[in-house]
Structure 1
Amino acid sequence: MKWSKELRANPVPVVVGGAMTVLAVVALVWWISDTPLGIDSAVYRAGGFAVLRGESLYSPLRALPGWALDLPFTYPPFAGLLFTSLTALPTQLCWGLLALAAAPSLYFALRPFAARTHLPVLLVGAFALQPVWQTIGLGQVNLVLMAAVVADMFLLRDSRFRGIAIGIVAAIKLIPLIFIVHFLVVRRFADAARALAVFIGVTAFAMAVLPGDSLRYWTSAILNAHFAATKGWVGNQSWQAFVARTMPDGTAATVVIVAFSALFAALAMWLVHRLHRVGDDRAALLVTAGCSLLLSPISWTHHWVWVVPALGLLAARGRRGGAVAIAVLFTGWTVAVVPGGGGAERDWTFVEAVVGNAYLIVLVAAGLACHLRFFKMYNGLYGTTNTKNDVNL
């Protein structure tokens, strides 16, 4: 009876456990029936096999299953070393392993941002968001990496181990290097040094184990031709993608990309600094995460998992209507209803452009609103300069 009362009082374990159970059953059924599942996790597994067999990570992957698209391995060599662990499992169970991590990762990513009473609803609702269900369906690592960053920032706030997880995450997927810059902006110099040292250390280790792949990655494979060919696709919601969809290639487009990227970065880091000064470290982290999505050459829709803690923070601060509206926007319909692929994005009407760039537009609008809110708060127009709405761990 006692445990049933506890579950009624805190249904989060039921939500997390239920999601893990369902995904585990899917993985087992798909494995037994030999049904294709998890294109990206299949690429990870094939990369692990390439490392074990002495094949190049950045040549066509021979261990891809027959049903998989001929996708390249795009991660740094250190990730290839980690993915050797997946070679012990069939393709579908590799997907299942990453899928099982989804619900716990969502919980750890949400907990510092959301009110406790909102957590069950937010966890259930998160599975309806395109970045989440697409990450799970593809067998991607986005949720795990986000949870590691959030845990490093908040659960290890005063620990001498803070920064280690971010260094490892950055070595798996380079874009999280921006969180080392975040440490510098908020004057956590020891944490930044620790994260950078870990990143350099594990990258050097990968270079020692895989010298050929490391040389190829850092000199050519990092500028992947697959990314260049698909940069303007609607599924890419970065600033570079926006420019690729709206301007012809050339010097003018490059100038716009570089100039506005520098402007966005400067404004974002200024905002991070000011938010940290007033004690709003949760909003500051979300600003950095949003900046990473904006500045990355490729921000596929499944990379936008940071919308989940953002919704948690909005709900916790009483902006439930805004949270619901953004959640509806991020269910994936905006990408589905506009023409996409084969350069169709360049012929969008104005309405199609607004809908097709919705993720990016929401991010920029949120950044502007955050600046406005800060200025109002800083000038005494918002009511207070502290952050009483901030959610305690």
Structure 2
Amino acid sequence: MDRSRGRLADPALIIVGGAMTVFAAVAIVWWLSDTPLGVDSAVYRAGGFAVVHGESLYSPLLALPGWAPELPFTYPPFAALLFTSLTALPSQLSWGLLTLAAAPSLYCAVRPFADRAHLPLLLIGAFALQPVWQTIGLGQVNLVLMAAVVADIFLLRGSRWSGITIGIVAAVKLIPLIFIVHLLVVRRTADAARALTAFLCASAFAAAVLPSDSVRYWTSAIFNDHFAEMKGWVGNQSWQGFVARTVPEGHPATVVIVVFAVVCSVVAIWLVHRLHRAGDDRAALLVTAGCSLLISPISWTHHWVWVVPALALLAARGHRGVVVAVAVLFTGWTVAVVPGGGGAERDWNLAEAIIGNAYLTVAFVGGLVCLSRSRCITTYTAEGKVKTYIS
């Protein structure tokens, strides 16, 4: 009885339940008042409608509500098949359905990285971070996908199902394919094979159901013109976004992008291998996630939800000052205070460039810290003891 009461009174679960209640109430009130809510969830829903009604998925979406901007559907066809479930609901309730999953996903993604004592405060603080509140406001799936990857890496490790979730997530949004490479680097070869098989099967299923859309996606829509036009916007905190803001278009920019992608990938693989050998699989996963954000052509600010488990791990290891500093940077003010849009980013002065690329700077500093400590890695055992691995 006492144990049951203890679990029911878990502050972290109370926070999750409270957040879900608030989001459900907002969705209902906004629906009853016919107030616009959830731009990206409206795009998901419109993509589902395109599938249901046999419309072209990668042409202008006819089912977008009148208040939503004319955004394209940019996900693989398999994602559109999943989003058909949203067509049974009004736009605001579709947002509510996705957002109800946000708080539990946040809990699942953070728990393996956090001390139990820190978890409630981390969950509350996470809602003040731009990647989280923006994901929720837009009706995005970032938190759900992150939780799925974390669950596959840690909760399903050693089971015959491990890897499958990552493969399905990658079929929804291609960037998680990098976690298949992560599985190979940490010598989970069977899991990587299952992940790749799941990705190929999901994509093949979508191709069978939506043959013309699949051909169009894999041959042209994957190189989205909408993204190309917005690559230099301050909201894109990837390396390609930085290059688009600072380097003239053309061959030099392409060389800078390719060289960085290769160097970043090689360094990340090396660090993941080292951290895995030292038994620090949590830090290893964060290195892979950071690499994905840097080398992706587009890493919108709401894609940076991986900062939450990173802060949790830093807090668990006693770096509270760093946690506070990084959290402040990720509240969203750095993007808001600099000129943005219409190519204004190319005219930034030095101070604006430093502030406007703050997310990238944090990732670079984190990578440099990992490199500087690569010859002396602290290993965290299951018993909480600490030992040192010397190369």
Q: Is the shorter-chain TM-score for this pair beyond 0.5, marking a shared fold?
A: yes
Given that 1:115 and 1:391 are in contact with CA atoms closer than 8 Å, whether structure 2 keeps it comes out as no
Work out whether 1:41 is the aligned partner of 2:34: no
Secondary structure of the residue aligned to 2:131 is helix
Give the corresponding residue for 2:260: 260
Separation in 1, partners of 2:9, 2:72: 47
Secondary structure of the residue aligned to 1:271 is helix
Given that 1:316 and 1:389 are in contact with CA atoms closer than 8 Å, whether structure 2 keeps it comes out as no
Return the offset for 1:43.
0.3
- C-alpha spacing 1:236/1:225, structure 2 compared with 1 (3 Å): same
Separation in 2, partners of 1:64, 1:140: 16
Give the corresponding residue for 2:379: 386
Equivalent position amino acid for 2:294 in 1? L
Work out whether 1:93 is the aligned partner of 2:93: yes
Q: Which runs of 4+ in 1 moved over 6 A?
A: 389-392
Return the offset for 1:10.
2.3
Return the offset for 1:96.
0.2
Return the offset for 1:388.
4.9
Secondary structure of the residue aligned to 1:386 is strand
Give the corresponding residue for 2:243: 243
Give the corresponding residue for 1:270: 270
Superposed CA offset, 1:158-213 (max 9, x none): 11100000000000000000000001111111000000000000100000100000
Question: Structure 2 stretches of 5 or more lacking a match?
Answer: 386-391
Given that 2:279 and 2:381 are in contact with CA atoms closer than 8 Å, whether structure 1 keeps it comes out as no
Q: TM-score, normalised by structure 2?
A: 0.96
Equivalent position amino acid for 2:70 in 1? D
Return the offset for 1:3.
8.8
Separation in 2, partners of 1:19, 1:201: 35
Given that 1:58 and 1:73 are in contact with CA atoms closer than 8 Å, whether structure 2 keeps it comes out as yes
Given that 1:113 and 1:391 are in contact with CA atoms closer than 8 Å, whether structure 2 keeps it comes out as no
Give the corresponding residue for 2:75: 75
- C-alpha spacing 1:10/1:66, structure 2 compared with 1 (3 Å): same
Aligned counterparts, 1:201-220, within 5 A: 201-220=201-220
Give the corresponding residue for 1:28: 28
Work out whether 1:134 is the aligned partner of 2:134: yes
Give the corresponding residue for 1:178: 178
Separation in 2, partners of 1:389, 1:187: 20
Given that 2:134 and 2:302 are in contact with CA atoms closer than 8 Å, whether structure 1 keeps it comes out as yes
Given that 1:286 and 1:310 are in contact with CA atoms closer than 8 Å, whether structure 2 keeps it comes out as yes
Equivalent position amino acid for 1:253 in 2? A
Separation in 1, partners of 2:342, 2:283: 38
- C-alpha spacing 1:364/1:68, structure 2 compared with 1 (3 Å): same
Give the corresponding residue for 1:189: 189
Percent identity for Structure 1 against Structure 2: 75
Superposed CA offset, 1:231-271 (max 9, x none): 00000000000001011101011000000110011001100
Superposed CA offset, 1:58-84 (max 9, x none): 000000000000000000000000000
Return the offset for 1:390.
9.2
Equivalent position amino acid for 1:265 in 2? S
Given that 1:112 and 1:391 are in contact with CA atoms closer than 8 Å, whether structure 2 keeps it comes out as no
Give the corresponding residue for 2:149: 149
Return the offset for 1:371.
1.1
- C-alpha spacing 1:4/1:210, structure 2 compared with 1 (3 Å): closer
Work out whether 1:337 is the aligned partner of 2:337: yes
Equivalent position amino acid for 2:240 in 1? Q
Equivalent position amino acid for 1:32 in 2? L
Superposed CA offset, 1:100-154 (max 9, x none): 1111000000010000010100000000000000000000000000000000000
Separation in 1, partners of 2:361, 2:384: 27
Equivalent position amino acid for 1:192 in 2? A
Count of aligned pairs = 385
Separation in 2, partners of 1:207, 1:4: 47
Give the corresponding residue for 1:297: 297
Aligned counterparts, 1:321-336, within 5 A: 321-336=321-336
Given that 1:186 and 1:272 are in contact with CA atoms closer than 8 Å, whether structure 2 keeps it comes out as yes
Equivalent position amino acid for 1:336 in 2? A
Question: Structure 1 stretches of 5 or more lacking a match?
Answer: 379-384
Separation in 2, partners of 1:327, 1:128: 9
- C-alpha spacing 1:86/1:339, structure 2 compared with 1 (3 Å): same
Separation in 1, partners of 2:383, 2:35: 46
Return the offset for 1:387.
2.8
Give the corresponding residue for 1:357: 357
Give the corresponding residue for 2:319: 319
